[in-house]
Amino acid sequence: MKSAICFVVGVLALAALPGSAIAADKPDPPADAAAFKKFFTEKFPKVKLEDFVNGPYSMDEGLYRQWQEKEQFPPYEFAVETGKEMFSKPFRNGKSYADCFPNKGIGVRQDYPYFDTKEGKVITLELALNRCREANGEPPFSYVKDEMAALTAYMAFTSRGKPLDIKIPDDPRALQAYENGKRYFYTRRGQLNFSCATCHVQSPGEHIRAEVLAPALGILNAMPIYRSEWSGMGTTSRRFTTCNSQIRAVPLEPQDDEYRDLEYYLSYVSNGLPISGPGARP
């Protein structure tokens, strides 16, 4: 009963977005994405659409100048170099990551996550990398540790500037995964009774302690990210689990179906915005 109430609250929050398709009999992801972009560009009329991928740095001129200075010697640079070395190193069977991905894994970040119609599941880049390792006799990496962050940092770097291009195939399971991700985004949880949208739709640009909240639009385009509070890199999985912990909710397991569906939804509504990862945040 409680989850049903939370979902209704989330539905009402989403319905507040101009042009939202949530009230329609049939889900309409393109209309959702258009409404999502319209909501944020009207809320922050001085921010260019493509600049939303810069997160909190797009919200404040002072922070933007700090970010420009930081980009001269970016803290994620070491991860990109490490990731490149890891990506190029053959597995013990002689194959490599390049054998597992289209275009040998270069410049493909903008196509993830995608819905696998054979498996009936959302496949994220992190999941695809570990499946590649296991298929070649290698142990999987932790989804929240440095190795996975370095690999995804390098792959993101090779896609910088390419527009996010997430597709929803003509498959009811794909549409359901998208809807599940949207539901998770707007459902309140934890002791603080927050949803993802509480911070990233209702409150972007505002401060929580020393942190400036990022807008949900384009938030995953910058992943993985270096965070000062972590003193290191973090994957999308790490960000999701950390967010749940911060609102005093029990985090799901990394790459749980709900997290992957959430990533699918958030990526789809940011279609067309450029890949800017890896990124850096306070």
Q: Is 87 exposed, middle or buried (0-12, 13-18, 19+ CB in 10 A)?
A: buried
Return the closest-CA partner of residue 277 out of 127, 116, 117, 158. Answer: 158
Closest CA to 44 of 213, 241, 208, 204: 204
Tokens, residue 101: 């991905």
How far apart are alpha carbons 229 and 211 in whole angstroms?
10
Do 109 and 162 meet the contact criterion of CB atoms below 8 Å apart? yes
- Report CA torsion sign: 242, 248, 249, 252: positive
**How far, in Å, CA of 182 to CA of 203, rounded?**
18
- State the Cα–Cα distance between residues 261 and 180, nearest whole angstrom: 6
Nearest CA-CA partner of 270 in 122, 16, 53:
53
The residue annotated as part of the active site, out of 6, 132, 196, 243, is: 243
Tokens of 126: 């992190």
Q: Is 199 a catalytic residue?
A: no
CA angle centred on 33, ends 41 and 112, rounded to 5°: 115
In the numeric block, the tokens 């053959």 are attached to 90
Positions marked catalytic: 243
